[in-house]
Structure 1
Amino acid sequence: MDQSSWLFVLLLRQIALSAFQDLMYHFINENKTWDEAQTFCRKFYTDLATVKNMKELKELERLTEPDGGTDGGTDGGTDVWIGLHQTSDNPKDRNRKWLWSQPEVQFNEAEAEAEWGEGQPNDGGGAQNCVAFHDNNKCKIHCIISKQISCSTESSSSTVMIQERRTWLKAQQFCREHHTDLMSGLDQQRQFQDKYPTRPLNSNYWIGLSRDTWAWSDRSNSSFRNWNSDVNPLNNKCSALRAQGRWESDDCDLKKPFICHGGEFLKIHKTLVRISLSSAVDLNPHDSSVLKQLEDHFRANNLHVKLSWKRGKDGKVFQKQDQV
């Protein structure tokens, strides 16, 4: 019996073509300066990409892989512009903003006021933009000094003390790779105090509090940062995404590909689709693999969709149709 004599009806009665609830990203494989990229994104989408958490960062990484976007992504070594830019080149700028490393934890100025050690905060000896926990108080220290680390975890213990000394950026990278993040927020800080009531005298532990003059192009207040721990983000005014999701500051006049967010696809659409397929075999045992192939096809065309089958009363996706 030839293939055309078998006809199956693919019912997608509840196929949801929907954008991410957070941000929809678009990789643009055209070389532009940061300002030109910003203008392009605001004209055709919403703005240059904002990143709010590690999940969104992973999506940006996927888009820039060689086969990630509709334009084929980058060659694996090319960096791309994102929407973070520096509003001042003065490391002691009075408008620096305090940020917790965990983006879901908001900095509360009133709560933090009572936690500073005597004479803190100050910029003695130069800009002090990273914070360490010292004798139950917070004190500002130069970010490039190596200190012990306090990480947050997903376990019930919540925090963990790491004796190994690292700079603040390397400490943040270590905590994100091996635990969850640097300790962030007063709740975690108090739990750390309860868990480690006795610590070596004059010991300092990095916590996830820092301040900077960086801002997102769309004026959102995301505190998420993922700087390359081997560079100084103050060197230049525009940020670029590089290998392994790390960020570096670069000359804004350099031309690079870039990532936009938003645009018309940000709206949520639901579409019901009925499709007929011809096959020489029963496709029902393979319905999950067929669904995956469809999703891969949409993703290859830079469309982020959630697909689901509408099953018949017999629980099957594909229904045999009378021979035409």
Structure 2
Amino acid sequence: MFPLVLHYSSPAEAREFHFVREQRSWSEALHYCRLKHTDMASAADASEMGQIAAAIPPGYAEPVWIGLQRGRSLVWRWSDPTRETGYSKWGDGLPNAQPKMCAAIYGFDIFMFGIMNAWLSDPCGHIKHFVCFDQSRGLVVVDEKKDWTSAQTYCRTHHTDLASVGSDAESGQIWAARPSGAAQIWIGLFSDDWSWTDGTGSSFRNWQSGQPDNGVGEGCAGLLTNDSGRWADLFCTRQYSFICAGAPRAKRLIVRVKIRSAQENMTSEITDHLLNQLVAPWAHAPDMKASWQRCANGEIFIREEDRTDDRPEERGTTE
């Protein structure tokens, strides 16, 4: 009679999002997601943000933690994460190294050269004309005035996003097409000191108007279910439900069985045949894998009489 251990597991699936109703602080939620899934939820773009929002049960009215937290480094990012240009055209002494600042194009007169344009940094709550990018139409200057976040919402609703600017020619084109009397025009560049816990470098943000307001201790992002899934910075110690990314961790089942055999030595052909027979009931599950778990001495089988009394009993377990 030989004891043996059969081990099989289900591999992790493709990226997905899971709503966890338990109430936890942001750091506790992060620990849970990394233990049970992959990480807290991050959004690469508006489409993925829609998937995250869809994971929340209908009618749920409280904020929900996502995997975004305030960091220590201030970075300028484009609103449209697919159009990072690496180009900039800041005016002298700019930009201001402060959070919640956004970029606008302004004009100035240089003797013998005429009207030129450059960029300035201004509080995102100021009201200005703005320029959108449309996937089919290109740059679209809008003859309305809004704060930067409201302008972003308008562009994402009616076009693609606020415009990214990649050259002197594009910057000049926007300035030349400005509405009459417009002194400054918002573009899709903003200062940001927030980062995703999974290391995603996406610049996609979906803040509620006026957010983040950078309150003391408000260093974690929550999805506001009562405001179309927009975000706000919240106190990290507050207890909320949360969204995890990634399939649940692979489940593992260890089973201890005994067999009777007259064989003195079990060849690999015999052990492979036994394994195939044991896992036959799960043949319809292509994501199931099975293997022998070897003992400390490297053997698959141990004779019953070779077991010692102080050897711990092996039990079937699940994770």
Q: Percent identity?
A: 32
What's the counterpart of residue 230 of structure 2?
246
Alignment coverage as a number of residue pairs: 229
Taking a change above 3 Å as real, the CA distance of residues 202 and 171 of structure 1, as seen in their structure-2 partners, is closer
Letter of the aligned partner of 1:239 in structure 2? A
Superposition pairs for residues 54-73 of structure 1, below 5 Å? 54-66=46-58
Q: Which residue of 2 aligns with 1:38?
A: 30
8 Å CA contact 1:160–1:192 kept in 2: the answer is: no
Mapped partners of 1:53, 1:198: distance in 2: 28
Counterpart in the other structure of 1:167: 147
Residue 104 of structure 1 aligns to which amino acid in structure 2?
T
For 2:156 and 2:53, the matched residues in 1 are separated by: 16
Larger radius of gyration: 2
Distance 1:64 1:174 in 2: 25
SS at match of 1:228: coil
> Which residue, 132, 139, 143 being the options, matches 1:151?
132
Partner of 2:95: 121
Q: Is the 8 A contact 2:141 2:174 kept in 1?
A: no
* C-alpha deviation, 1:239, in angstroms: 0.5
Q: Secondary structure at the match of 1:254?
A: coil
Higher mean alpha-carbon deviation, 52-61 vs 223-232, is at 223-232
The 5 A counterparts of 1:261-276 are: 261-263=245-247
1:172-187 → structure 2 map (5 Å cutoff):
172-186=152-166
8 Å Cα contact 2:106-2:175 kept in structure 1: no
Which structure 2 residues correspond to residues 10-29 of structure 1 after superposition, within 5 A? 20=14, 23-29=15-21
Whole-Å separation in 2 of the counterparts to 1:265 and 1:44: 6
Q: Following the alignment from structure 1 to structure 2, what is the Cα–Cα distance between the partners of residues 120 and 195?
A: 20
Instruction: Report the secondary structure of 1:65's partner residue.
Output: coil
Deviation at 1:264, TM superposition (A): 5.3
Distance in 1 (alpha carbons) for counterparts of 2:181 and 2:32: 55
Aligned-residue offset at 1:47: 0.9
Q: Is the 8 A contact 2:37 2:249 kept in 1?
A: no
CA-CA distance at 1:19 after TM superposition: 5.1
**Partner residue, 1:132:** 104
* 1:98 and 2:70 correspond: no
Distance 1:127 1:51 in 2: 21
Contact 2:128 2:146 in 1 (8 A): yes
Aligned to 1:237: 219
Contact preservation (8 Å) 2:105, 2:171: no
Secondary structure of 2:201's aligned partner = coil
User: Unaligned stretches of 5+ in structure 1?
Assistant: 1-17, 67-74, 89-94, 274-324
Query: 1:128–1:214: structure 2 CA closer, same or farther, 3 Å change rule?
Result: closer
Q: What are the Cα deviations for residues 174-214 of structure 1, in whole angstroms up to 9, with x where unaligned?
A: 11112111001315x74463366354466211000011111
Q: How far is 1:154 from its partner?
A: 2.1
Task: State the Cα distance separating 1:107 from its structure 2 match.
Answer: 5.0
TM-score (ref. length: structure 1): 0.64
Aligned-pair Cα RMSD in Å:
2.6
| 1:60-83 CA-partner distances (Å, limit 9, x unpaired) | 1111132xxxxxxxx331221000
Q: How many angstroms does 1:106 deviate by?
A: 2.2
Quote the residue 1:214 is aligned against.
194
Contact 1:86–1:214, Cα closer than 8 Å, also in 2:
yes
Residue 176 of structure 2 aligns to a residue whose secondary structure is coil
The one-letter amino acid of 1:248's match is A
Q: Which has the higher strand share?
A: 2
- Contact residue 37 and residue 246 of structure 2 kept, 8 A: yes
Answer yes or no: is the 8 Å Cα contact 1:79–1:257 preserved in 2.
Answer: yes
Q: 1:64 to 1:190 in 2, by over 3 A?
A: farther
Question: Could you say which structure has the higher helix fraction?
Answer: 1
| Cα gap change, 1:203 to 1:59, in 2 (>3 Å) | same
CA distance, structure 2, for counterparts of residue 216 and residue 80 of structure 1? 15
Partner of 1:294: none
CA contact (8 A) 1:173 1:229 kept: no
CA 1:117 to 1:192, structure 2 compared with 1: closer, same or farther past 3 Å? closer
What is the aligned partner in structure 2 of residue 10 from structure 1? none
